[in-house]
Chain A
Amino acid sequence: MLESPLTWGQQDIWRAVVAARPQEHYLNIGRIFAAPKRPVTVERAVKALDDLVARHEALRTRLSGPRDHPRQRVSPIARPYVEVTDESAQVVCDRLSGEPFDYWEEWPLRVAFLVTGDHVRHVVLVLCHLAADGHAADLLVKDFRLLLLRDSLPPPQSATPRELAEWQRSPEGRRTSDEALAFWTAEYRRMDPVTLADVPRRPRFWEATMTSAAIAAAAQAVAARERVSSSTVLLTAAVRLAGRLTGQRFCGMRVIVNNRFAADRRDVVSTISQEGLVLLDLRTPDFGELVRQGWQVALRAYRQAQFDPYAMEEAVSGMGPGIRSFGCFNDQRLVQRDEVTGLDERAVRASMERTELAWTDTMDRNICDFRLHVGGEPGRMEVSLYADTGLLAPPGIERFLYDMESTLVEAAFA
Chain B
Amino acid sequence: MQTDGELRGRLAEMVAEATDGAVEAADVLAGETRLADLGVTSLGYLRLIDAVEAEFGIELDMTSADSLDELVDYLRLHA
Q: Which residues of A contact B (CB under 8 A)?
A: 227-229, 231-232, 258, 261-263, 266, 295-296, 298-300, 302-303, 336-337
Inter-chain pairs besides A232-B42, A261-B49, A295-B42, 8 sampled, C-beta below 8 Å: A227-B34, A227-B36, A231-B42, A262-B47, A263-B54, A299-B42, A299-B46, A303-B62
The answer to the question of B50 belonging to the interface, with a C-beta cut-off of 8 Å to chain A, is yes
In Å, the complex CA distance between A262 and B51 comes to 7
A337 and B41 within 8 A (CB): yes
In Å, the complex CA distance between A300 and B49 comes to 11
A300 and B62 within 8 A (CB): yes
CB contacts (< 8 Å) of B22 on chain A: these are 337
A299 and B43 within 8 A (CB): no
B43 and A261 within 8 A (CB): yes
In Å, the complex CA distance between A239 and B43 comes to 21
A302 and B50 within 8 A (CB): no
B46 and A302 within 8 A (CB): yes
The answer to the question of B37 belonging to the interface, with a C-beta cut-off of 8 Å to chain A, is yes
A262 and B50 within 8 A (CB): yes
Which chain A residue lies CB-closest to B47? A261
- Chain A's nearest CB lies how many Å from the CB of B66? 10
**Cβ < 8 Å to A, chain B residues 32-72:** 34, 36-37, 41-43, 45-47, 49-51, 54, 62-63
- Chain A's nearest CB lies how many Å from the CB of B32? 15
In Å, the complex CA distance between A258 and B42 comes to 12
Provide the main secondary structure of the chain B interface: helix
How many B residues have CB within 8 A of the partner chain?
16
CB contacts (< 8 Å) of B51 on chain A: these are 262-263
CB contacts (< 8 Å) of A298 on chain B: these are 42
B54 and A262 within 8 A (CB): yes
CB contacts (< 8 Å) of A303 on chain B: these are 46, 49, 62
CB contacts (< 8 Å) of A302 on chain B: these are 42, 46
Question: Can you list the 8 inter-chain pairs with the closest CB atoms, starting with the nearest?
Answer: A261-B46, A261-B50, A262-B50, A227-B36, A261-B47, A300-B62, A227-B37, A302-B46
16 example contacts (A-B, Cβ-Cβ < 8 A) are as follows A229-B41, A232-B42, A261-B43, A261-B46, A261-B47, A262-B51, A263-B47, A263-B51, A263-B54, A295-B36, A296-B62, A299-B42, A299-B45, A299-B46, A302-B46, A303-B46
In Å, the complex CA distance between A295 and B42 comes to 8
Which chain B residue lies CB-closest to A261? B46
A336 and B37 within 8 A (CB): no
B46 and A228 within 8 A (CB): no
In Å, the complex CA distance between A232 and B45 comes to 14
CB contacts (< 8 Å) of B62 on chain A: these are 296, 299-300, 303
CB contacts (< 8 Å) of B46 on chain A: these are 261, 299, 302-303
Contact A336-B50, Cβ < 8 Å, known A227-B36, A296-B62, A299-B62: no
